[in-house]
Amino acid sequence: MESSNEAMGSPFDDGDLYDVLLGGAEFGLDYYGDLARRAEGPVLDIGCGTGRVLLPCLAACVDIDGLDLYEPMLARLRTRASELGLSPRLYQGDMSGFRLPRKYALIMIPYNAFTHNVTQESQLRCLAACREHLLPGGLLTLDGAFPGLAWIGAEQNVRVLEGEIQDPRTGRMLRVFDTRSFDRVRQVQHSITEIESIGADGAVELLQRSSYEMRRDGFIKMKWLCCLAVWGSNAGRSGAASMAGS
Ligand SMILES: C[S@@+](CC[C@H](N)C(=O)[O-])C[C@H]1O[C@@H](n2cnc3c(N)ncnc32)[C@H](O)[C@@H]1O
């Protein structure tokens, strides 16, 4: 990930904690799962994370590989897979410059992962690598949260409580705070995320402090791809785009 604050660490440095917070999200499961099951050839899940989309596909006998930059996410995926008796083929690598041994009928980049390409150059390198790995007639599909005015226009550099969830590992409540700023020229959102764990006596422990950047532009300069469809979901905040390989 390209980040202005790499020293702080990434939210993807702890796959177990990531799963406590987001592993149960249902976003895109039907959409990506349906496409994967109908694919007429191998499928690649880019930014596969802890396997939220990949594992149900694998369980449904889809021939699917995963790629992710962060080893802790892949480690968590491997653990979950072995608990299910599954053996996924996983690659550690950057989506903006990967080379894998086979080509795919479907490449998918679920749940905002593409937005971690924070420059247009990186977006285009990612799309070029995808094109290199698509079989003739193959399909690339991805999604990204669309930054509405309420989001972009929100007060910057304010620490906001984003949510609370009970940690099933400890029974303690977790509080997730985000401090956001937007670089409107680069069209990049910078976030500092803090996760606090609250004890029964109210004592607060800082579990993770991390930062990340996401590119929040509408989408991409598409020179050599044919855009088949762009549609919204999630109350108009997210969009998915599907593109056919040449
Ligand atoms: C929001 S998570 C989505 C995970 C998964 N796709 C899902 O649907 O649950 C974004 C994922 O992108 C991965 N990622 C971030 N930057 C990446 C990069 N440059 N190359 C490959 N993966 C990356 C992260 O490790 C993380 O697993």
- What is the per-residue pLDDT across 21-52, written as a single tens digit (0 to 9) for each? 999 999 999 999 999 999 999 999 999 999 99
Cα 76 to ligand 1 centroid, rounded to whole Å:
13
118 in contact with ligand 1, CB cutoff 6 A: no
What DSSP element (H or E) covers 54?
Answer: helix 54-59
Three-state secondary structure call for residue 136: strand
Q: Ligand 1 in contact with 57 (CB < 6 A)?
A: no
Structure tokens given for 213 = 């950047």
Residue 239: per-residue pLDDT: 53
Provide the percentage of residues in the chain whose pLDDT is more than 70: 85
Span 235-246, mean pLDDT?
48
Ligand 1 centroid, distance to 185 Cα (angstroms): 24
Nearest CA to ligand 1 atom 14: 47
Rounded to an integer, the average pLDDT of 204-232 is 69
pLDDT of residue 46: 98
Q: How far is the CA of 223 from the centre of ligand 1 (A)?
A: 25
Q: Write out the two tokens for 199.
A: 């004890």
Confidence of residue 212 (pLDDT cuts 50, 70, 90): very high
Q: What is the pLDDT of residue 238?
A: 45
Q: Which residues, other chains included, contact 47 with Cβ-Cβ below 8 Å and sequence gap of 6+?
A: 67, 68, 69, 95, 109, 110, 111, 113, 114, 116
User: Could you tell me the pLDDT band of residue 190, with boundaries at 50, 70 and 90?
Assistant: very high
Q: Tell me the per-residue pLDDT of 113-163, one tens digit each, with 9 for 90 and over.
A: 999 999 989 999 999 999 999 999 899 999 877 667 777 778 899 999 999
Helix (H) or strand (E) holding 83: helix 71-83
**Atom nearest to 23 CA in ligand 1:** 9
Q: Which of 68, 71, 118, 162 maximizes ligand 1 atoms within 8 Å of its Cβ, making it the mutation to test the pocket?
A: 68
| CB-ligand 1 contact for 47 (6 Å cutoff) | yes
Q: How far is Cα of residue 238 from the mean position of the Cα atoms in its chain? A: 13
Residues 6 or more apart whose Cβ sits within 8 Å of residue 38:
none
d(CA 14, CA 22): 12
The verdict on the CB of residue 27 being under 6 Å from ligand 1 is no
Q: pTM for this one? A: 0.89
73 lines ligand 1 (CB under 6 A): yes
Verify whether ligand 1 is closer than 6 Å to residue 42 (CB atom): no
Tell me the CA–centroid distance for residue 68 and ligand 1, in Å: 6
Work out which ligand 1 atom sits closest to the CA atom of 70: 25
Confidence category of residue 185, pLDDT binned at 50, 70, 90: confident
DSSP state at residue 123: H
Q: Which atom of ligand 1 is nearest to the CA of 28?
A: 8
Answer yes or no: are the C-beta atoms of 62 and 56 closer than 8 Å.
Answer: no
51 Cα to the center of ligand 1, angstroms: 10
pLDDT confidence of residue 126: 95
175: exposed, middle or buried (Cβ count in 10 Å: 0-12, 13-18, 19+): middle
